[in-house]
Structure 1
Amino acid sequence: MGKFNRYLITAALPYANGPVHIGHLAGCYLPADIYVRYLRAKKADVKFVCGTDEHGVPITIKAMKEEVSPQDVVDKYHKIIGDSFAAMGISFDIFARTSDPIHHETASDFFLKMYNDGLFEVKESEQYFDPEKNVFLADRYIIGTCPKCGNDKAYGDQCERCGSSLSPDELINPHSALSDAVPVKKKTKHWYMPLQNYEPWLKEWILEGHKEWKNNVYGQCKSWLDNGLQSRAMTRDSNWGIKVPLPDAEGKVLYVWFDAPIGYISATKELTNNWSDYWCKEDTKLVHFIGKDNIVFHCIIFPAMLKAHGGFVVPENVPANEFLNIEGEKVSTSRNWAVWVNDYIQDFPDQQDVLRYVLCATAPETKDNDFTWKDFQDRNNNELVAILGNFVNRAMVLMHKLCGGKVPRLHDEFLDDTDRELLKEFSVAKEKIENSIENYRFREALSEVIEFSRKGNQYLQKSEPWILASAIEKLNSGQPHAKYELKDVPMLQARIDNCLHVSLQLTANLAIFLHPFLPFTSKKICHMLKVVDRMLDWENAGSVELLKVGYTLRAPELLFKKVENEQIVAQVEKLHAGLKQSAAATAAATTVPVVEEAPAAPAKPEIQYDDFAKLDLRVGTILQAEKVEKADKLLKLLVDIGTEQRTVVSGIAMHFKPEDIVGKQVTLVANLAPRKMRGIESQGMILMAEDNGKLIFVNPAEAVKPGSGVS
């Protein structure tokens, strides 16, 4: 564990304006929890801090939508978020709030120290102002028509229909979301931090001192620094937030990204009187777990603040993850395209570790990754149930059946090469797992744990203790055996004992290896083995003597259960239902316009008649339909177009069951060049219409002969 005597681990403060989804878990909270549980198992002095970020524009926007006060919003979602984390086993030492008095005091003092040291620049600038409400407007409070796609509900910072980044100056017919008044420009004063003054130090600290950081983090930092840093305002015009602690700052609050990271400090203060040991002593290792959208704040702005203030350690590492998509699409909370953690807990009670496993196994550690419910099912059934759960259950059942429910002894004189090879793997597995965890490669570490249990299954299969037991039973009953004699019975029983002794010691090691990743499952194994939690200390990992010989163990219980097709179908349908509900709510909203769901696509460039005439559109009838193996979204269709039957691969599997579309008529682009998809040559394209996420076949109003042209 090197030169560090204590560890301070932070996870990004989630905005208290909605529940958390699985993208949040995969991005930073689960990796942080895995790392912290490992450090605790190594008996490290570690504090794990987090809390809700309760200031900023997203909070006030949510309050407007729900027609309540900002305080009501943060009170509601702080509890929902905290309960979700607790249910998923995210083991914070404290889950604080930036609305707490201790945070207001800490952030104000931090600002004042920098102010008194002359580290801010005061600048005047023109910003948009609502003349009716008499307030300055954040960009999100300005709504108008997008100049790029014509959406009349675009925000002053972004059009959520076409995804374009905007500024309020670009909007057509801008108006205030608070009063509908036309905003005007008005001068305002703010305090800026000259980040360019810290550029040389940042370059030396990051670009020279931390080349070991993940490529995505190092690369983004390098890009910012290479382009040159500029002064950045650390205050905002608002009535919601931490008031700027200066006499001439009426109506000003601290910029949320100045305020929020100080929340790590105030949370540590609330947690322990020795908070300064974790923030001010050089032998502390500070690690920030975040998503990639927060890299600049945690690697450049917050470290510059800490350096400017003085007396604080700066992060040793910032292992940011990329984004997790869902069913091939980006998570969108505004469109309700998300798997919410509190919903998962209700739908899959007592299966928190299944989600933890899937999110770690598919974690977007180096690039964006995709969560699908089919993959969730496959990993549960084929890995957790069939490999990990299967091995533990077989070892426990065979121990009860063949060894009287007690840990058998190890007979050294009868150890064979198979036994010895597996016993060597105990320490090898430990070394691989801890090396991966310490280098923030959690997917790799978890894969090693599953591989260890797979080797256990292979060992049982090769040793075949049930075959040896059958031979003993036959010989003891006086029947002859083709391979063994009655005098071999003690040897056979010794080999059975050895096999199950090694298997049970492997099971105990699995409990230790699994605990950072699947804590609930680890505790189940400990319960069956009748061992106390201190066995989970990392110093015990790799040991071949964890269980005492002759110790009676509890009856086996299944660690995991299969996820059925019906559950997966229900979850996919729930996703799409949420999308439709969001669209309906958006359409009805009037107070704060939000993006309408599934808007009509903007018109494509004009074409000539000759261009259209090149298309050979024909009506076809679907004769056969089947799913494409290992492709959740693809169906393989056989389509009759009159003169021939065509194979067409179409990405409609998430919308239609194969058996439901046989006999349907469709419109086919018949002269499209063939294209191979998943090794299948697709000979055409089916025309579809999309209505709020629902796909509909484009077909004639009445049945026609296959091959009929469309003109």
Structure 2
Amino acid sequence: MAKFNRYLITAALPYANGPVHIGHLAGCYLPADIYVRYLRAKKADVKFVCGTDEHGVPITIKAMKEGVSPQDVVDKYHKIIGDSFAAMGISFDIFARTSAPIHHQTSQDFFLKMYNDGLFEEKESEQFFDPEKEMFLADRYIIGTCPNCGNDKAYGDQCERCGRTLSPDELINPHSALSNAPLVKKKTKHWYMPLQNYEPWLKEYIIDGHKEWKNNVYGQCKSWLDSGLQSRAMTRDSNWGIKVPLPDAEGKVLYVWFDAPIGYISATKELTDNWADYWCKDDTKLVHFIGKDNIVFHCIIFPAMLKAHGGFVLPDNVPANEFLNIEGEKVSTSRNWAVWVNDYIEDFPDQQDVLRYVLCATAPETKDNDFTWKDFQDRNNSELVAVFGNFVNRAMVLMHKLCGGKVPPLHPEFMNDGDTEILKEFGLAKEKIETSLETYRFREALSEVIEFARKGNQYLQKNEPWILASVLEKLKNGEQHAKYPQYEEKDIAFLQGRIDICLHIALQMTANLAIFSHPFLPFTAKKICHMLKVVDRMLDWENAGSDKLVNVGYSLRPPELLFKQVENEQVTAQVEKLHAGLKQAMDAAAAAAPAVEEAPPAPAKPEIQYDDFAKLDLRVGTILQAEKVAKADKLLKLLVDIGTEQRTVVSGIAMHFNPEDIVGKQVTLVANLAPRKMRGIESQGMILMAEDKGKLVFVNPAEAITPGSGVS
């Protein structure tokens, strides 16, 4: 940390077209908050910025659905999202908006600087145009018949009936979603950023310069760069967004992924007059917390923009998380398969730290993970209640019962090796937690916090101060304890000393737990501070690991339970609520969609002669490797063993199969098809597939046979 004098931490700007769900929290907002709270505890100069992304097609689509203006939509959801974050303790220094005048000005100035430096390419292309509304249409404003399943309400980017990714050109009879008018194609001009010009620099910056980035981030960046970058349009035709500041750009706005990351800059400008210190000085550490779907924008496009503009620091790290599923299924806002943060706050008041704990403990740091309400219950009851809360409560209750409610002295003359060992754990725990936090391994850091509490319980259990108190009471009354007859009247001072030592150490552990847990469980840490009658300044990281946090003889407040049990009925209610929301969304979608007859079987093709068929060389192959093709939603790159050789085949099946699920599958390959380049990859054959009601199925042998076997 020594080389950085200040820190700028950003969390991805959420679209202001709906509430946030727990997948959002787990993806970037909770990890970012944990890291920032740790930095603040270290007394670092840090700014934590975020805000709502209020431009782009999702906003206008939402406005169209709700029958209101885009401004009404962003005003509504900016408040809902901001309130949810605040309730969950996400401690932004500012939660800004990209509709704010300062953001419009900052984005336009950024664009103009690049434009005046000659860094854009002007290109004309033909795009779909609504002649009635007199406007170019984004893909989502184009509706037509899906060529895959026959749904006549498919969008220009996806059919929501069969799930197939589409382009407007693939739709049958495309028309406008705004006016229902048939579409025409019309030329339009846009400004493109030639990303390929920045490839050598990006490879040096990322591939050579940031090998320490998480594997998912580094790997995705390398895949994009290896595939070759292309010019990307930085403007769009729309009436909602930041106007392109050029005289010949009527009806054009900045591409949302051009203006959105600039929102970090404008938010910092809005926050502080010395914003340039955080964006333009080399001793600033810039860290972007995002989900994996935003990696390319934050690691390739935005750094290229910053480099092109000049004068800005570049991201030092981009610790992107994978996705959080719910009850075994992917989160789907359209299907209402989500746990909404504002609903959680209403259903579990004053239990924000429970959700923070569970989401951090199950965070998808290296792979997609699953949230279940049963796991939520188990982690709360068996870890927060039974370990963390139990230790703090026992220490406080025993101190009040055995020490008159005051912090007892340590009595060095009566200390033993067990006391010495547990005191060493203070510094060791601090070191482990600190190392994990510095390297963005938040799950690991949290497990160390719980382990420290677990060791506290073990220490209490081993020393049994309540038993010693019982023995002491007997001796003071001139009696011997039946279970511990070895103690005599001469041991009274020793027994009192052991009780005091045990509870003194337990209280110092409790204070350390407040410091250790504060980045993760801020509400809980404040409760502990209240019980210990210490000011929040104790939570500074320099105090972590100390065994002198609570003063001898100091009166403490009565204990309060930090956590409460989650009952079976609560879990059942939440699972039922989840399924009820799904049913409601599906019923609404079904009611809105017209009845679509099942597509008839594909018509028979013209008759051929045997000699035509004999030209085909069909062979059985085994898939050895499968991976997605960069920047191609539909394509998988396969390596197929056909006995005599291994073939590379590019197949348009990515929407139907996960790459890892088809490795080892046997397939039928057209082996003598002329090679064809797809996305720069030479495809050496074609896999035979059958289609059943929109679902693709491999045409393969009924039982495993030798790769390369002919099909006749």
For the aligned pair, the TM-score class normalised by the smaller chain equals: 0.7 to 0.9
Task: Extract structure 1 runs of 4+ deviating beyond 4 A.
Answer: 599-606
How far apart are the structure 2 equivalents of 1:43 and 1:204?
33
How far apart are the structure 2 equivalents of 1:339 and 1:511?
29
**Cα distance, 1:600 vs. partner?**
11
TM-score (norm 1): 0.83
Does residue 1:399 correspond to 2:402, yes or no?
Answer: no
**Cα distance, 1:2 vs. partner?**
2.4
How far apart are the structure 2 equivalents of 1:422 and 1:169?
69
Q: 2:532 matched to which residue of 1?
A: 529
Q: 1:544 matched to which residue of 2?
A: 547
How far apart are the structure 1 equivalents of 2:20 and 2:587?
22
| Aligned AA (1:472) | L
| Aligned AA (2:502) | C
SS of equivalent residue, structure 1 residue 505: helix
**Cα distance, 1:603 vs. partner?**
9.8
How far apart are the structure 1 equivalents of 2:417 and 2:530?
31
Question: What is the correspondence of 1:476-625 to structure 2 with a 5 Å cutoff?
Answer: 476-481=476-481, 482-589=485-592
Encode CA deviations 1:435-492: one digit per residue, 9 max, x unaligned.
Answer: 0000000000000000000000000000000110000111111112312001101100
Encode CA deviations 1:555-604: one digit per residue, 9 max, x unaligned.
Answer: 000000000011111101111111111122223447xx9xx9xx999999
SS of equivalent residue, structure 1 residue 549: coil
Q: 1:453 matched to which residue of 2?
A: 453
Q: 1:326 matched to which residue of 2?
A: 326
Q: 2:76 matched to which residue of 1?
A: 76
Does residue 1:174 correspond to 2:177, yes or no?
Answer: no
Q: 1:107 matched to which residue of 2?
A: 107
| Aligned AA (1:403) | C
**Cα distance, 1:146 vs. partner?**
2.0
Encode CA deviations 1:151-209: one digit per residue, 9 max, x unaligned.
Answer: 33221112233332210111122221111112211110000000001000000000000
**Cα distance, 1:418 vs. partner?**
1.3
Q: 2:257 matched to which residue of 1?
A: 257
Q: 1:147 matched to which residue of 2?
A: 147
**Cα distance, 1:605 vs. partner?**
11
> Unaligned regions of 5+ residues in structure 1, if any?
607-711
| Aligned AA (1:583) | M
SS of equivalent residue, structure 1 residue 164: coil
SS of equivalent residue, structure 1 residue 207: helix
Q: 2:631 matched to which residue of 1?
A: none
**Cα distance, 1:27 vs. partner?**
0.2
Q: 1:89 matched to which residue of 2?
A: 89
How far apart are the structure 2 equivalents of 1:37 and 1:430?
15
Q: Could you tell which deviates more after superposition, 145-154 or 480-489? A: 145-154
Q: 2:287 matched to which residue of 1?
A: 287
**Cα distance, 1:273 vs. partner?**
0.2
Do 2:114 and 2:308's aligned partners in 1 also have CA atoms closer than 8 Å?
A: yes
SS of equivalent residue, structure 1 residue 316: strand
Q: 1:17 matched to which residue of 2?
A: 17
How far apart are the structure 1 equivalents of 2:377 and 2:597?
34
Q: 2:440 matched to which residue of 1?
A: 440
| Aligned AA (2:492) | V
How far apart are the structure 2 equivalents of 1:76 and 1:492?
64
Cα distance change, pair 554–145 in 1 and its aligned pair in 2 (3 A): same
How far apart are the structure 2 equivalents of 1:94 and 1:182?
45
Q: 2:120 matched to which residue of 1?
A: 120
Q: 1:382 matched to which residue of 2?
A: 382
How far apart are the structure 1 equivalents of 2:39 and 2:278?
15
| Aligned AA (1:324) | L
How far apart are the structure 1 equivalents of 2:39 and 2:505?
27
Q: 1:341 matched to which residue of 2?
A: 341
| Aligned AA (1:28) | C
SS of equivalent residue, structure 2 residue 54: coil
Q: 2:372 matched to which residue of 1?
A: 372
Does residue 1:156 correspond to 2:159, yes or no?
Answer: no
Q: 2:361 matched to which residue of 1?
A: 361
| Aligned AA (1:559) | L
Cα distance change, pair 555–170 in 1 and its aligned pair in 2 (3 A): same
Q: Could you tell which deviates more after superposition, 167-176 or 242-251? A: 167-176
Cα distance change, pair 477–304 in 1 and its aligned pair in 2 (3 A): same
Q: 1:239 matched to which residue of 2?
A: 239
Question: What is the correspondence of 1:691-702 to structure 2 with a 5 Å cutoff?
Answer: none
Q: 1:304 matched to which residue of 2?
A: 304
How far apart are the structure 1 equivalents of 2:364 and 2:393?
31
How far apart are the structure 2 equivalents of 1:145 and 1:326?
32
SS of equivalent residue, structure 1 residue 124: strand
Cα distance change, pair 604–418 in 1 and its aligned pair in 2 (3 A): farther
| Aligned AA (1:526) | C
| Aligned AA (1:442) | F
TM-score (norm 2): 0.83
Q: Could you tell which deviates more after superposition, 254-263 or 411-420? A: 411-420
Cα distance change, pair 600–441 in 1 and its aligned pair in 2 (3 A): farther
Q: 2:627 matched to which residue of 1?
A: none
Encode CA deviations 1:71-104: one digit per residue, 9 max, x unaligned.
Answer: 0000000000000000000000000000000000
How far apart are the structure 2 equivalents of 1:65 and 1:584?
16
| Aligned AA (1:220) | Q
How far apart are the structure 1 equivalents of 2:450 and 2:269?
39
Q: 2:130 matched to which residue of 1?
A: 130
How far apart are the structure 1 equivalents of 2:415 and 2:176?
80
How far apart are the structure 1 equivalents of 2:582 and 2:600?
24
Q: 1:695 matched to which residue of 2?
A: none
| Aligned AA (2:51) | G
**Cα distance, 1:144 vs. partner?**
1.9
**Cα distance, 1:23 vs. partner?**
0.3
How far apart are the structure 1 equivalents of 2:409 and 2:598?
71
| Aligned AA (2:405) | G
How far apart are the structure 1 equivalents of 2:97 and 2:511?
39
Cα distance change, pair 468–605 in 1 and its aligned pair in 2 (3 A): farther
SS of equivalent residue, structure 1 residue 7: strand
| Aligned AA (1:548) | N
Does residue 1:277 correspond to 2:277, yes or no?
Answer: yes
How far apart are the structure 1 equivalents of 2:197 and 2:317?
23
How far apart are the structure 2 equivalents of 1:281 and 1:161?
50
Does residue 1:67 correspond to 2:70, yes or no?
Answer: no
Encode CA deviations 1:315-340: one digit per residue, 9 max, x unaligned.
Answer: 00000000000000000001111000
Q: Could you tell which deviates more after superposition, 4-13 or 171-180? A: 171-180
Do 2:471 and 2:480's aligned partners in 1 also have CA atoms closer than 8 Å?
A: no
Q: 2:314 matched to which residue of 1?
A: 314
**Cα distance, 1:147 vs. partner?**
1.9
How far apart are the structure 2 equivalents of 1:41 and 1:303?
29
How far apart are the structure 1 equivalents of 2:549 and 2:134?
70
How far apart are the structure 1 equivalents of 2:322 and 2:171?
31
**Cα distance, 1:15 vs. partner?**
0.3
* TM-align CA RMSD: 1.6
| Aligned AA (2:210) | H
How far apart are the structure 2 equivalents of 1:434 and 1:149?
54
